[in-house]
Structure 1
């Protein structure tokens, strides 16, 4: 089967377009790049036409459109997302969003030919801050699969070393000794002290000041396309991480800065125990109109359901409970404390659940969500879930009524 993927990357000053063609395991990549801040919108489509002409590919032959979704420059992210959506919608093909920090890790792996290293990607976010994400690659047959150890967060550049010192012991290691930890990304040039970070008990090294490029986006998109991790064009969205850049004088005087920042202590995913149930039930009551009770959660533990909590600095900030049947994984309930939402915790919990399902060799994972819960629908679609069907009158609703459930599924 022949696959043609157009990839767009504009998270930095570099505007890049790549056309990846894969046929009978032979992969060709055609790339055009231009470094000019503020010219992404006018250059992106002509560059896309250029790489397709060079490859001899007509637009109608495209299998999908990938884009670097961020984090990065706000305007650049919106341009890439919008253009990808427009092309994909016009051609009736899916969109493949790729985290730009992961593309940096992919570039470093290709340059170093080093498998299994933990790659800490640090990208300059300006104002003394960095975007940070942590990734580890594993070889599965002939394919390379990436595990996200830390979804993108925002940190003060000076806090990267202390944050890593607390976080790295929680990450899985390969073999009989800790893997190499490599720092890569353009923040290494913006904040040279990052190159001096050394952690006790793990080999630490500073790599190159890389940025995401369209070729890496295309490579990751091919694997995502094969895995079915695509979206309908209208479900694609940028990954900003920092929600706000401009602040009023009053906000600055009160200490406002880039947000949401990573907390000083890392998130730990731990098995749910009876002593967590009060916290779990409280979080559930804060986020659901018709919440599970503490007894419901206790019954789930007694029944042997898989359940984990997200803990930070001694506090339970999120949880999930799932049932692993012989043929499918079923997320029964998942929630994050209101004041801790939009910090990547929900993504960490869902990713953990998916990893557990993969370890049991289950082919898919399903869950239910209210059609009226737009934020949850967007969250799951962003994670690669697609609506499978509708379950009528599944949820209780106000005034004794019932609400349907959207059944969503992700192939593993």
Structure 2
């Protein structure tokens, strides 16, 4: 069976869409802060037209579940749910951090990756990944939002590729880590790398109904406390 899957992501400054039909890949991507709502659906239309398929012919829809911008994550999950409801498709949420690890492998062959997104407020969204023999990724610890000086690594063996906006935001951070690092050039997640990860999740039977799609904010408790009347 030829797997047909669409992925959308608006969780960071980058807005991207990708469609796979078996090994064939159609991709659109644009770094466009605050323009995601205007760009994402035309991108979806473009890749579907390029492949000559409709949404209803797909098997599933993947989306960037975060972490990232609160607004960006909400836009992405809303678009994914709307498309999935209309076409009666199951959905798969993919970590933006894991997607950057996959991109570091796709572009540089990295198999050990430290992913960090600048979360503002003096913090990072962080995760540490190792590539498995089957091509899937294993997180050595749960994704976390942490202060740069509180970064905790589970392993320091081998060479670790750095991916994400967190590293240029804190240029001295990598120098203080007791491990060997290399630059990957990866700053933002891409939908095409989410597809690579979503394929494994789909094969494991992890796709869910659109109404069950959930975001990953990591900092949601902080947001809750900021609401009037909340403590």
With the length of structure 1 as denominator, give the TM-score of the two structures: 0.52
Counterpart pick for 1:139 among 116, 133, 147 = 133
Aligned to 1:126: 120
Larger radius of gyration: 1
Aligned to 1:15: 15
Aligned pairs, number = 226
**What is the deviation of 1:179?**
3.0
Higher mean displacement: 220-229 or 89-98: 220-229
How far apart are the structure 1 equivalents of 2:26 and 2:122? 36
Aligned to 2:172: 193
**What is the deviation of 1:147?**
1.1
With the length of structure 2 as denominator, give the TM-score of the two structures: 0.90
Structure 1 gaps of 5+ residues are 170-177, 249-255, 257-412
Counterpart pick for 2:88 among 92, 107, 112 = 92
By relative contact order (CA 8 Å, sep 6+), the higher-ranking structure is 2
Matches within 5 A, 1:3-402: 3-22=3-22, 27-115=23-111, 117=112, 119-140=113-134, 144-160=135-151, 163-164=152-153, 167-168=154-155, 178-199=157-178, 202-243=179-220, 244-245=222-223
Q: CA RMSD in A?
A: 2.0
2:104–2:186 CA contact under 8 A, matched in 1: no
Structure 2 gaps of 5+ residues are none
**What is the deviation of 1:195?**
3.0
- Choose between structure 1 and 2: higher strand proportion: 1
How far apart are the structure 1 equivalents of 2:30 and 2:181? 33
Query: What is the SS of the residue equivalent to 1:8?
Result: strand
2:9–2:16 CA contact under 8 A, matched in 1: yes
**What is the deviation of 1:129?**
0.9
Residues 185 and 85 from structure 1, CA distance in 2 versus in 1: closer, same or farther, beyond 3 angstroms?
same
Higher mean displacement: 74-83 or 31-40: 31-40
Query: What is the SS of the residue equivalent to 2:11?
Result: coil
**What is the deviation of 1:245?**
4.8
How far apart are the structure 2 equivalents of 1:209 and 1:4? 26
Residues 45 and 246 from structure 1, CA distance in 2 versus in 1: closer, same or farther, beyond 3 angstroms?
same
Query: What is the SS of the residue equivalent to 2:100?
Result: helix
**What is the deviation of 1:182?**
2.9
**What is the deviation of 1:186?**
1.3
1:189–1:209 CA contact under 8 A, matched in 2: no
1:131–1:152 CA contact under 8 A, matched in 2: yes
